[in-house]
Amino acid sequence: MRWLCTLCFFFLAAAVLPAQTDRVEQILKEMRSNSGSDYLEMLIQLADAYYGAGQWEKSAESASQAASAADAAGERDLQAQALHYEARALLRITRRQSFHMGRAAEKLRESFLLTTEADLRLADLALLRQIALDRGRQDDLAVIDRQMRAL
């Protein structure tokens, strides 16, 4: 029975990963015909697709490109969203995890300051809270909890 469950899991995983890869390819094709804020949104979708496919470095790279382009275009909300996606991907990278965790915290703080969207601010704080827990920083945790209650 255990063998059957394991086999089903691998078949399911094998079916999901190509679907994520197809999504990446579709977004890359669509990006060629877009510009401006549509292009920025496609870059963020690409970062999300890479994240869904388990390609954390590519996800972080795409989100970083989106954040830089949004900054240059003056699109603060898109920049905040891209920074959130970049931080989320950085937290999944296991190589040099402490370094990536620090960078993710910086990106999340910047995203929090840039955005006016309450949902994104809460998501930023939730990830910052997890980082504070992982690092054992009780002072940061108390501040984050207060900010979450204020929202």
Task: Say if 3 falls within a structural domain.
Answer: no
Burial profile 38-66: b = 16 or more Cβ within 10 angstroms, e = fewer: ebbbbbbbbbbbbbbbebbebbbbbbbbb
Count: domains in the chain: 1
For residue 110, the model assigns a pLDDT of 98
Report how far apart, in Å, the C-alpha atoms of 146 and of each of 28, 59, 79, 123, 150 are: 41, 31, 25, 15, 6
For residue 143, the model assigns a pLDDT of 93
For residue 36, the model assigns a pLDDT of 73
Task: Say if 146 falls within a structural domain.
Answer: yes
Assign residue 123 the CATH number of its domain.
1.25.40.10
Among 44, 35, 45, residue whose Cα is nearest residue 63: 44
Residue 98: DSSP 8-state: H
d(CA 94, CA 75): 31
Task: Say if 12 falls within a structural domain.
Answer: no
Q: What is the mean pLDDT of each run of 10 residues along the chain (151 residues)?
A: 47 50 68 73 93 95 96 95 97 87 96 96 97 92 92 83
State pLDDT tens for residues 69-112. Answer: 999 999 999 999 999 999 999 999 988 887 889 999 999 999 99
Q: What does pTM read for this prediction?
A: 0.78
Residue for token pair 């949004």: 70
For residue 33, the model assigns a pLDDT of 65
- Residues in the chain, overall count: 151
Task: Say if 14 falls within a structural domain.
Answer: no
45 neighbors 53 (Cβ within 8 angstroms): no
- SS3 state at 5: helix
For residue 15, the model assigns a pLDDT of 47
Name the residue range of residue 131's domain: 20-150
For residue 12, the model assigns a pLDDT of 47
